[in-house]
Chains A and B, each alone.
Chain A
């Protein structure tokens, strides 16, 4: 698939996601992840960071895309938006790992076309960050991610309303990003 067709697909999915379409959002994130992973791997290899860190970096960039998705101006192409976020986050994450790098934006756009090298390994970074959150936030994130339950099931189990679970999840993800930012500094 050429990059324009792929970006149009991403745009359609993200537009639907912003309106609350969970399925479209999963498609979007799962489609963005492989090229992101390849990019992170290349950066790590080039700048001598551990390739063990690749999946941690992928998760951190995904979190940034997630929290900032409201800044995409839907009348504009999605490519430059996503490339800029990815570049800024790659620079940040590698800098925190002690590598001062600059990533030209053209590099990001070019390397969106690559094979996926899957890494199923459990990651420690996100676990460590989760460990610093409030207990109920941690519980909700775990329940929805690792245990794969829905918001409704989680709400029933914790005797909360669905809305309250959604709010708590959103706050937990924001808090997670704050932990990432303050880590290593």
Chain B
């Protein structure tokens, strides 16, 4: 087959039914929705949610996780399109760690040293390490499926893992009884690293185009 004939075949398939932007938006929304359903069916809000909402430490968890989820999702939409510079979005990923780092310093300043270890160990580290990856599974799968329609550069899979774990951590934080930044800065990143690693490995296998 010569190239002119080949072009003829391509032209007959000219129309794009699902632009990539829409695919990614639907995938993100579905991932969040499924994670939400999984959250309410499995663990739900912590019993003292009403009182917790009045405390800065509880709210801070959402500030950090939502920042991470938003920045990572924004970066994905750039990394999946050829020739779009990531620009400030790659730096924006640092926003969540910086926020959390500031909160850790504040916690160390206001809390007596004798309570640090108890706060760090918390009551529920194992839940954190299992429930965040569990809740991240659907958002990660949705993002990876969408990214297959895109033309992602590496390491899109890892960034998808980061976005999915941000979503999962946001839901999990509403159940987790440990609000100290010392706990959040220790266990959340370990749980998220699992998801990022899975995303990275899946990405290097399934996201070639």
Contact = CB atoms under 8 A, between A and B. Distances in A.
Interface of A: 17-22, 24-26, 29-30, 33, 37, 55, 58-59, 62-64, 66-73, 76, 79-85, 88, 119-123, 126-127, 130, 141-142, 144-146, 148, 150-151, 166, 169-170, 173, 177, 181
Nearest to A76: B84
Nearest to A29: B7
B2 interface: yes
A2 to B, nearest CB: 19
A56 to B, nearest CB: 10
Interface in B1-47: 1-3, 5-16, 18-21, 23
B161 interface: no
Contacts, number: 128
Interface string B145-168: 000011100000000000000000
A64 to B, nearest CB: 7
Contacts of A123: 1-3, 6
Given A64-B209, A85-B82, A29 B2 contact: no
11 contacts: A20-B15, A30-B7, A55-B3, A66-B10, A71-B20, A71-B80, A71-B149, A71-B150, A85-B83, A121-B2, A181-B209
A173 B81 contact: no
A67 B14 CA distance: 10
B127 interface: no
Contacts of B6: 59, 62-63, 123, 126, 145
Given A20-B14, A127-B1, A26 B7 contact: yes
Interface string B171-184: 00000000000000
Given A17-B11, A18-B16, A63-B6, 8 more contacts: A25-B11, A26-B7, A29-B11, A70-B16, A81-B81, A85-B83, A166-B13, A177-B209
Nearest to B152: A71
Contacts of B18: 70
Contacts of B151: 64, 68, 71, 85, 88
A33 B7 CA distance: 9
B82 A145 contact: no
A77 B67 CA distance: 30
